[in-house]
Amino acid sequence: MLEGKKILLGVTGSIAAYKVAILVRLLIKAGAEVKVILTPAAKEFVSPLTLSTLSRNPVLMDLVNDDTWQNHVLLGRWADIMLLAPLSCNTLSKMASGTCDNLLMAVYLSATCKVAVAPAMDEDMWLHPATKRNLQIINNFGNIVLPVDSGELASGLIGEGRMMEPAVMADWLKNYFSTGMPLSGKKVLVTAGPTYEPIDPVRFIGNHSSGKMGLAIALELEKRGAEVTLIVGPTSLDIPDYINTIKVQTAAEMFDVCVDLFPHVNIAVMSAAVADFTPVISAQEKIKKSDADLSIAFTKTKDILKYLGENKKLNQLLIGFALETSDEENYAKKKLIEKNADLIVLNSLKDEGAGFGYDTNKITIFDKLGNTHYFDKKSKKEVAVDIVNSIIQIL
Ligand code: CTP
What's the confidence (pLDDT) of residue 157?
A: 80
Ligand 1 atom with the smallest distance to the CA of 308 is: 7
pLDDT mean values, one per 10 residues, the chain (395 residues) = 92 95 96 96 94 95 73 85 97 97 95 94 93 94 92 82 95 89 94 97 95 96 93 95 93 98 98 97 92 92 98 97 90 95 89 74 92 93 96 93
Q: Say if CB 69 and CB 38 are below 8 A apart.
A: no
- Name the residue of 254, 255, 304, 331 whose CB sits within 8 Å of the most ligand 1 atoms, as the mutation to test its pocket: 304
**What spacing in Å lies between the alpha carbon of 335 and ligand 1's midpoint?**
9
Parallel, antiparallel or unpaired: strands 244-247 and 227-232: parallel
| Cis, peptide link before residue 234, omega less than 30° from 0 | no
For the chain, domains (ranges, CATH) are 6-178 (3.40.50.1950), 187-394 (3.40.50.10300)
Residues 6+ apart with CB under 8 A from 124: none
Total-model pTM: 0.81
**What spacing in Å lies between the alpha carbon of 239 and ligand 1's midpoint?**
24
What's the confidence (pLDDT) of residue 60?
A: 93
What's the confidence (pLDDT) of residue 133?
A: 96
Q: Which residues of 16-30 are buried (b: 16+ CB within 10 A; e: fewer)?
A: bbebbbebbbbbbeb
**What spacing in Å lies between the alpha carbon of 303 and ligand 1's midpoint?**
7
How many residues are there in the chain?
Answer: 395
- Name the residue of 267, 270, 337 whose CB sits within 8 Å of the most ligand 1 atoms, as the mutation to test its pocket: 270
Ligand 1 atom with the smallest distance to the CA of 331 is: 29
**CB-count burial class (<10 Å; 0-12, 13-18, 19+) for 288:** exposed
CA-to-CA distance for 109 and 86, rounded, in angstroms? 18
List all residues whose CB is within 6 A of at least one atom of ligand 1. Answer: 191, 251, 270, 272, 274, 276, 301, 303-305, 320-323
Residues 6+ apart with CB under 8 A from 257: 231, 246, 248
Q: Say if CB 363 and CB 375 are below 8 A apart.
A: yes
What's the confidence (pLDDT) of residue 355?
A: 67
Q: Which residues pair with 64 in a beta bridge?
A: 69
- Name the residue of 191, 261, 267, 276 whose CB sits within 8 Å of the most ligand 1 atoms, as the mutation to test its pocket: 276
Ligand 1 atom with the smallest distance to the CA of 301 is: 8
Sign of the CA dihedral with 99 first, then 100, 105, and 109 last: positive
Q: Which residues pair with 149 in a beta bridge?
A: 162
Strands of 193-241 (E only): list them: 197-200, 203-205, 227-232
Q: Which residues of 148-163 are buried (b: 16+ CB within 10 A; e: fewer)?
A: bbeeebeeeeebbbbb
| Active-site annotation holds for 207 | yes
Catalytic residue among 57, 207, 266, 389: 207
289: helix, strand or coil: coil
Q: Say if CB 342 and CB 335 are below 8 A apart.
A: no
**What spacing in Å lies between the alpha carbon of 272 and ligand 1's midpoint?**
8
**What spacing in Å lies between the alpha carbon of 375 and ligand 1's midpoint?**
22
**CB-count burial class (<10 Å; 0-12, 13-18, 19+) for 10:** buried
